[in-house]
Structure 1
Amino acid sequence: MNLFIEGFAWLFDPMHWVGGSSIAVRLGEHFQYTGVSLFFAALIAVPLGLYIGHTGKGRGIAIAASNVARALPTLGLLAVLILSLGIGLIPAAIVLVILGIPPLLAGVYAGIESVDPQTVDAARAMGMTELQILRKVEVPLGASLIFGGFRAATLQVIASAVVAAYFSLGGLGRFLVDGLAQNNNPQLVGGAILVIALALVVDGVLAIIQRFVVPTVSSGTRSTKRTARGGAIPPVAQSRTLIKEGH
C-alpha cells in the first residue's frame, strides 16, 4: 500500500510536471505515437474492412492475417525494425500500426456484415449503386460495431506504445523503463498509474461519444422498423427512410 501512496505522491509532485522530461511532455509524446499510428492503421483497415464486409471476399484471409498480427511479439518486432531503420518514430509507428489494424479491421467488416441482407437487397432494388449502399445503408447501420473496433484499436495502441521507451523513445513508457533502471519504485508505479489512467479516460470519452453520437443512427433506424400498428416496415421502406434522414 505504501508503494501506491508513493506512486501517487510522485505523480502529483509539481516538479514532475515541468521540464523537458515532464509528465506533460511524455503524455504529449504518447498521444503523438497513438494518433499517428491510428491514422495510418485506419488508412489501411477501414477501406479493406468496408470492401470485405460489403463483398464478402477475402474474409478468411483477413481473419488469418489479423490473428498473425495479434500473435506477433511487440518488443521483438520493434527491435528488428529499429535494427533495420534506426531509432526513431517510424519503427515504433510501424509496430503500433500493425497492432492497431486487427481490431479496427474486425470492427469495420463485422459492422458491415451485420446489416440485414434484405435491407441491402431492397436498397439495390431501388437503384442505389454499390457505393451508395455502402455509404447510406451499411455504414450507418453498422456504425456501432465499427466504432467499437476503433475503441479497441485505440486501447491496443495506447497500451502497446509503452514499449517504444525500451529503445530510447519517449512516451509514458519512459517512466517505467527509467524507474526500473534506476530502482525508482515511486516513478515506476506512478508511470504505470498514468498509462492505466490514460487508457481508462480515453475509453470513457470514446464510450460517451459512441453513446451520444453513434446511436443517433441506430435509434433513428429502430424507429423506422415498425409501423404505427406495431408491424415491421419492409426493407424498402427502411432504405428510403435512411436516404431521407440524410444517411
Structure 2
Amino acid sequence: MREVLRDAYRYVNDPLSWTGPGGILDLLGDHLWMTLVAVLLGAAVALPLGLWLGHTGRGGTLVVGVANLTRAIPTLALLFVLTAALGLGQLPTILAVAIFAVPPILSNAYTGVREVPDDARDAGIGMGMSPRRLLTSVELPLALPLIGAGLRTAVVQVVATVSLASLVGGGGLGLVISNGIATQRFGQALAGAALVVAVCLGIEGLLALVQRALTPAPMRTAARPVRGHRVAASDA
C-alpha cells in the first residue's frame, strides 16, 4: 500500500503527467466540458418542468417519482446501451449522465416552489400579479436555495459519473484511472481517483458560494447560526 501511495505521489508531481495531449490538464478540460453539457441538458428539461409543476401543483408527485426511478437504472448499463446506439465518444456519456442529472434538479425545483409560504403567494395575487409574474417574482426567488442545492447535487453526481467516459472512448479524468488499472500502475489509478474527488470537492465549494450569493439576503440571515445553535426560518 505504501508503494502505491508513493507511486500516486510521484505521478501527480511529475510535470509530464500534466502537460501535452492526454495529460491531466487536457483530460480535465474534456471532463469539465462533458459535465457542463450534461448538466445544461438535464437542467433544460428538469428546471422548467419542476417550476411549472410546483407552480400548478398538478401531477408533480407522480412526475418527480417517475424521474427518481431513473436512479435505479445501472449507469454503466445505460452507457453501454447508448454507446451501442450512438458509437464511441463523448456523446453517449453526456446523454447518459444528463439523464441522471434530471431527478435532483426536478425534485428540488418542484419542492422549492411548493414550499413557498401561502401568504407570499396571496400577497402577490393581491397585488394583481399574473400567474407568470407570480412565479418569476415571488415563487422563484424564494425557491432559489432549494433549486441551487439540486443543481449542486446534480453537478457533483455528474462530475463523478463522467469518469466512466474512458470506458467508451470519451476521455476525461477516468482515463487516468482506467489506464492505471490496465497497466497495473495502481498508483496512477489512485492518483486519478484522487483527482476526481478533488474536482468534485472544488466544484461543490464553488457552487456553494454561488448559491449563497444568489440567495436573497433575508433568507440567508434567517438561517444564520446564533449563539451556538441554528435558527430556522420559521422561528424568525
Q: Alpha-carbon deviations, 1:106-135, whole Å to 9, x = none?
A: 111111111001211221122100111110
Q: Provide the rounded CA distance (Å) in 2 between the counterparts of 1:145 and 1:221.
A: 15
SS in 1 for 2:22: coil
Q: Provide the rounded CA distance (Å) in 1 between the counterparts of 2:97 and 2:215.
A: 26
Partner of 1:174: 175
Q: Provide the rounded CA distance (Å) in 2 between the counterparts of 1:208 and 1:102.
A: 23
Which amino acid counterpart does residue 149 of structure 1 have in structure 2? G
1:19-30 alignment to 2 at 5 Å? 19-30=20-31
TM-score for both structures, normalised by structure 2: 0.89
Q: 1:158 to 1:217 in 2, by over 3 A?
A: farther
Q: Provide the rounded CA distance (Å) in 2 between the counterparts of 1:212 and 1:126.
A: 28
Which amino acid counterpart does residue 127 of structure 1 have in structure 2? G
Which amino acid counterpart does residue 219 of structure 2 have in structure 1? S
Instruction: Give the Å deviation of 1:63.
Output: 2.3
**Bigger mean CA deviation after superposition, 13-22 or 209-218:** 209-218
Q: How many residues align?
A: 222
Q: Does 1:64 align with 2:65?
A: yes
**Bigger mean CA deviation after superposition, 25-34 or 122-131:** 122-131
Instruction: Give the Å deviation of 1:217.
Output: 5.8
Conservation of the 8 A alpha-carbon contact between 1:141 and 1:221: no
Conservation of the 8 A alpha-carbon contact between 2:144 and 2:214: no
Q: Provide the rounded CA distance (Å) in 1 between the counterparts of 2:162 and 2:28.
A: 11
Q: Alpha-carbon deviations, 1:78-107, whole Å to 9, x = none?
A: 101111111122211110110101111111
Q: State the Cα RMSD in Å.
A: 1.6
Q: Provide the rounded CA distance (Å) in 1 between the counterparts of 2:167 and 2:155.
A: 21
SS in 1 for 2:172: coil
Partner of 1:77: 78
1:219-238 alignment to 2 at 5 Å? 219=220
Q: Provide the rounded CA distance (Å) in 2 between the counterparts of 1:84 and 1:159.
A: 23
Q: Provide the rounded CA distance (Å) in 1 between the counterparts of 2:220 and 2:13.
A: 43
Partner of 2:219: 218
Conservation of the 8 A alpha-carbon contact between 1:140 and 1:218: no
Ranges in structure 1 where 5+ consecutive residues have no aligned partner: 223-247
Which amino acid counterpart does residue 37 of structure 1 have in structure 2? A
SS in 1 for 2:212: helix
Q: Provide the rounded CA distance (Å) in 2 between the counterparts of 1:11 and 1:215.
A: 41
SS in 2 for 1:100: helix
Ranges in structure 2 where 5+ consecutive residues have no aligned partner: 224-236
Instruction: Give the Å deviation of 1:8.
Output: 2.3
TM-score for both structures, normalised by structure 1: 0.85
Q: 1:150 to 1:217 in 2, by over 3 A?
A: farther
Which amino acid counterpart does residue 178 of structure 2 have in structure 1? V
Percent of aligned pairs with the same amino acid: 36
Instruction: Give the Å deviation of 1:66.
Output: 2.1
Instruction: Give the Å deviation of 1:221.
Output: 8.6
Partner of 2:46: 45
Partner of 1:94: 95
SS in 2 for 1:196: helix
Q: Which runs of 4+ in 1 moved over 3 A?
A: 219-222
Q: Does 1:183 align with 2:184?
A: yes
Which amino acid counterpart does residue 68 of structure 2 have in structure 1? N
Which amino acid counterpart does residue 145 of structure 2 have in structure 1? S
Partner of 2:230: none
**Bigger mean CA deviation after superposition, 87-96 or 34-43:** 87-96
Q: Provide the rounded CA distance (Å) in 1 between the counterparts of 2:159 and 2:84.
A: 23
Q: Provide the rounded CA distance (Å) in 1 between the counterparts of 2:142 and 2:218.
A: 7
Q: Provide the rounded CA distance (Å) in 2 between the counterparts of 1:24 and 1:219.
A: 36
Instruction: Give the Å deviation of 1:215.
Output: 4.1
SS in 1 for 2:129: coil
